[in-house]
Structure 1
Amino acid sequence: MKIAFSPCPNDTFVFHALVHGLIPGASDWDVMYADIDITNKLAASGDGLEVMKISYAALPWVLEDYQLLPCGGALGRGCGPLVLTKDGNDDPASLAGKRVAVPSERSTAYLLFRLWAAQKVPGGIGEVIVMPFHEIMPAVRDGRIDAGLVIHEARFTYPEYGLTLMADMGSWWESDTGLPIPLGAIIAKRSLTNPEQIATWIRESVAYAWAHPEASDAYVLEHSQEMSREVAKQHIALYVNDFTADLGEDGYAAVESLLGRAAKEGLVPEFDLSLLR
């Protein structure tokens, strides 16, 4: 069976046991490692893999062919995307008409940013540029763009680039809704006959990761794009939590709130919210 997820530490930590044959009775897995923008597009293309990690923001484009699995993904509190600038600029109004880089136009980060900007940036953003997330901070530092929306371990490393935090999208979202931030979703093709079994295997892989946190160290660091061991551990601690094991009512409410609001703003297609469960 084929699965796609990112090389980021939270994903390799979560799926280590599953893809290394450590879950009794689980299928063998062929892994594709890809940036979230790639998996978002692949899932929507009709040529996606059986199981994929995509952004929650990309769900409206794929729900007819894929179902949301209730585990394995990334939701949380205090883990939202950041808007970064340089030269100490922390005034959102200064982004009016400016160039901002984002990691994907079908990402939760992008949806949160556009909903935030609608409130905070009079006149609106100028140009939005899609860029691989690891290239955004250097581009802001070098003045090639005016601001960048960053995700993942960038929240720990942006000071190394001399950048300024303008806004934390997670803090804004949580204060506005009281809900966790839905970031990455695990989806499975609706044509599969065993989605519940796949979800069980993923839960067992999460449980194994928590029970044996050092077992995946080499695998995590192999794919972590030269990230230090300490930053990788911070990354895992932030993005792998109770919502990874089970979305629960708060998790589903967060997804429904984000996508329902985005649909009303025309940022995603209208869709049947009942398809999320």
Structure 2
Amino acid sequence: MELTLAVSPCPNDTFVFHALIHGLVPGAPRVNLTFADVDVTNTAALDGRFDLVKVSYAALPWLLDDYELLHCGGALGRGCGPLVLAREPLDDLTGRTVAVPGDRTTAYLLFRLWSAAHPPARIEVVPFHEIMPGVAAGRYDAGLVIHEARFTYQRYGLTALADLGEWWEGDTGLPIPLGAILAKKGTVDPAQATEWVRASLRQAWLDPAASHDFILANAQEMEPAVVKQHIELYVNEFTLDLGQDGLAAADALLGRAAAAGLTPPVKPFL
């Protein structure tokens, strides 16, 4: 058996999946790896080419007919939400152009919920690494950023208009559900896949040095200190097990999105 796996090259994914990818998980199949940013996998997963795939929670309403949510391996947490950045403070984004990293990302869904009262005039989907330079250069009035950008945006002379994680947590009391791991129905046993992913994560925690070179070779941000911050923030207890709070967070996000007419409704996880 060969397992087709699609994850992002971001440090949290390469940290979690290093052992599985490199054949270090006993009993797990050989892995055929595809690296793709989550805005790509959100759409690519629709054709069912991957057995395991990392996607945004915001994309689940279009994928759950063919995939099952694993209760491990993803990115949820507190203090790790997307940021809305600009060159200078703005009262609101009415009439503005905002760059976003994907139209089915959790970040963009949160942004739409947050900005509903004062929506921007124009949204542009821009590769993640181009957003901060584009805002700094004046091509966009504001940008929605994720991942390690929360540690580096000041270098571009930008200011944070909003931390959507703080907004979400303050409003719901729940962690923010960012990235999910899905298993394709009919080709992968979810219970087995969960065991493989959890075993890979546990190995990463036991021997973090083992994945160091692999992580740096694929990271967009090469500074070891930033990579370390990224992993510590996005790999946490929810990565090992969503638990009640993680599932409640997914239900809250997708329930609010459906109620606002932004996504199709889905059956609650709890």
TM above 0.5, yes or no, is: yes
Is 1:210 the counterpart of 2:205? The answer is yes
SS of equivalent residue, structure 2 residue 120: coil
- Which runs of structure 2 are paired with 1:182-193 in the superposition (5 Å)? 182-193=177-188
* Residues in 1 aligned to 2:48 and 2:69: alpha-carbon distance in whole angstroms: 17
* Residues in 2 aligned to 1:272 and 1:47: alpha-carbon distance in whole angstroms: 21
Deviation of the 1:271 alpha carbon: 2.6
SS of equivalent residue, structure 2 residue 27: coil
Deviation of the 1:272 alpha carbon: 2.4
* Residues in 1 aligned to 2:105 and 2:49: alpha-carbon distance in whole angstroms: 17
Deviation of the 1:223 alpha carbon: 0.1
User: Could you say which residue in structure 2 is the equivalent of 1:149?
Assistant: 144
- Which runs of structure 2 are paired with 1:19-98 in the superposition (5 Å)? 19-44=21-46, 46-86=47-87, 88-91=88-91, 93=92, 95-98=93-96
Deviation of the 1:226 alpha carbon: 4.4
SS of equivalent residue, structure 1 residue 63: coil
Q: Flag structure 2 segments of 5+ consecutive residues without an equivalent.
A: none
* Residues in 1 aligned to 2:220 and 2:178: alpha-carbon distance in whole angstroms: 20
* Residues in 2 aligned to 1:56 and 1:232: alpha-carbon distance in whole angstroms: 23
Deviation of the 1:264 alpha carbon: 0.7
C-alpha contact 2:48 2:184 (8 A) present in aligned 1: no
CA root-mean-square deviation? 1.1
The alignment's TM-score, normalised by the length of structure 1, stands at: 0.94
For the structure 1 residues 15 and 96, does the alpha-carbon distance in structure 2 shift closer, same or farther, using more than 3 Å as the test? same
User: Could you say which residue in structure 2 is the equivalent of 1:265?
Assistant: 260
User: Could you say which residue in structure 1 is the equivalent of 2:17?
Assistant: 15
1:96-131 alpha-carbon deviations (Å, 9 max, x no partner): 011101111111101111111024x2xx21111111
Amino acid at match of 1:228: E
Amino acid at match of 1:233: K
For the structure 1 residues 140 and 211, does the alpha-carbon distance in structure 2 shift closer, same or farther, using more than 3 Å as the test? same
Is 1:235 the counterpart of 2:226? The answer is no
Identity of aligned residues (%): 59
1:153-203 alpha-carbon deviations (Å, 9 max, x no partner): 000000010001100000000000000000000001111252211110100
C-alpha contact 1:74 1:183 (8 A) present in aligned 2: yes
C-alpha contact 2:148 2:221 (8 A) present in aligned 1: no
SS of equivalent residue, structure 1 residue 139: helix
Amino acid at match of 2:89: N
Deviation of the 1:269 alpha carbon: 1.2
SS of equivalent residue, structure 1 residue 64: coil
Amino acid at match of 1:246: D
Deviation of the 1:43 alpha carbon: 1.1
Amino acid at match of 1:133: F
- Which runs of structure 2 are paired with 1:93-104 in the superposition (5 Å)? 93=92, 95-104=93-102
1:227-271 alpha-carbon deviations (Å, 9 max, x no partner): 211100000000000000000000000000000000011111123
Moved over 3 A (4+): none
* Residues in 1 aligned to 2:5 and 2:179: alpha-carbon distance in whole angstroms: 14
Deviation of the 1:66 alpha carbon: 0.3
- Which runs of structure 2 are paired with 1:125-140 in the superposition (5 Å)? 125-140=120-135
Amino acid at match of 1:39: T
The alignment's TM-score, normalised by the length of structure 2, stands at: 0.97
* Residues in 1 aligned to 2:126 and 2:264: alpha-carbon distance in whole angstroms: 23
